[in-house]
């Protein structure tokens, strides 16, 4: 279990992904889904 472990919290932080071990914050997630930002 470490940075290379995709299922651990540290691995999720390292990769920048979310899942069961690393939840997104509820308020920020709701805003992101409601107002997706457009990239130029």
- Give, in order, the Cα–Cα distances in Å from 2 to each of 13, 25, 35: 10, 23, 34
Length of the chain: 40
Rg (CA), the chain: 13
Q: What is the pLDDT of residue 18?
A: 85
Task: Give residue-wise pLDDT tens across range 1-13.
Answer: 778 787 888 888 8
The domain locations on the chain are: 1-40
pTM over 0.75: no
Residue 28 phi/psi, 5-degree rounding, is -65, -40
d(CA 40, CA 34): 19
Q: What is the pLDDT of residue 1?
A: 77
38 — pLDDT class (breaks 50, 70, 90): low
Q: What is the pLDDT of residue 5?
A: 83
What is the average pLDDT across 11-39?
A: 74
Nearest alpha-carbon partner for 3 in 16, 28, 35: 16
């Amino acid at each position: 279990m470490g940075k290379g472990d995709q299922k651990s919290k540290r691995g999720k932080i390292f990769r920048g992904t979310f899942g069961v071990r690393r939840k997104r914050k509820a308020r920020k997630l709701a805003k992101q889904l409601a107002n997706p930002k457009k990239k130029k």
